[in-house]
Amino acid sequence: MNTKKIVITGSAGTGKTSVINALKAKGFYCFDEVIRSLTSEAKKEVDVSTHISNPIVFAKDPLDFNTRLLNGRINQFKQVDSLSEETCFFDRGIPDVLAYMDFFNQEYGDLFTNACNKHMYTDVFLLPPWKAIYKPDSGRFESFDEVLKIHDHLEHTYKKFGYNIIEVPFGSIEERTNHIINSL
């Protein structure tokens, strides 16, 4: 089966997880974001009271952290081959790793760019920053100004790898979810 692999991406606090949960409720197979579990593990290694905005600072080795994140997303991508689903959704895709590394001025090598070129998604939906719904939490550290800049990095990175990005308009979770489903 040639399963459609659909990425739902966007900066922190744009409603991605809410949309993913709504897609799950409609019976779609969805892969959850993997960074929160990695960030929780990394938090155990340092004094979190000194953290400002980048969850990578929790990691003793940022490149190792990003490599594990990349591998987690690649594993999700590969899991689709063992499923008998027509469509699978991902809460963030492999290029998100590079976009965030670019935002935080972190270097990466061919391992990262090759992963993006080798594991191509069918469609990418980008949720724009929405100040009215943005709320920092224990796993979300970015200021809204940073959210805007990260959005630009995400858009640039996906376009660099040849994706035609479909922007999801503001609206209720149901409206946004239906927009995604109807766009497929």
Phi, psi of 45 (to 5 degrees): -90, -15
Token pair in block for residue 85? 């689903």
- The residue segments making up the domain with residue 34 are 4-183
In this prediction, residue 59 carries a pLDDT of 67
**What confidence category does residue 47 fall into, taking pLDDT thresholds of 50, 70 and 90?**
low
The 10s digit of each residue's pLDDT in 126-183 is 999 999 888 877 666 788 999 999 999 999 999 999 999 999 999 999 999 999 999 9
Task: Please say if the pLDDT value at position 54 is more than 60.
Answer: no
Tally of domains in the chain: 1
CB atoms within 10 A of CB 171: 13
Residue with the larger pLDDT of the pair 49 and 31: 31
Of 181, 131, 151, the C-alpha closest to 22 is 181
In whole angstroms, what is the distance from residue 43 CA to residue 65 CA?
A: 12
In whole angstroms, what is the distance from residue 65 CA to residue 77 CA?
A: 19
CATH number for position 85? 3.40.50.300
Asked if 39 and 69 touch (Cβ cutoff 8 Å), the reply is no
In whole angstroms, what is the distance from residue 137 CA to residue 135 CA?
A: 6
pTM: 0.88
Eight-class DSSP state of 91: E
Per-residue CA distances from 142 to 9, 11, 79, 167, 183 (Å):
16, 9, 30, 21, 30
**What confidence category does residue 35 fall into, taking pLDDT thresholds of 50, 70 and 90?**
confident
H or E element: which one contains 110? helix 110-118
H or E element: which one contains 29? strand 29-31
Asked if 80 and 3 touch (Cβ cutoff 8 Å), the reply is yes
Contacts of 160 (CB under 8 A, 6+ apart): none
**What confidence category does residue 52 fall into, taking pLDDT thresholds of 50, 70 and 90?**
very low
Task: Please say if the pLDDT value at position 62 is more than 60.
Answer: yes
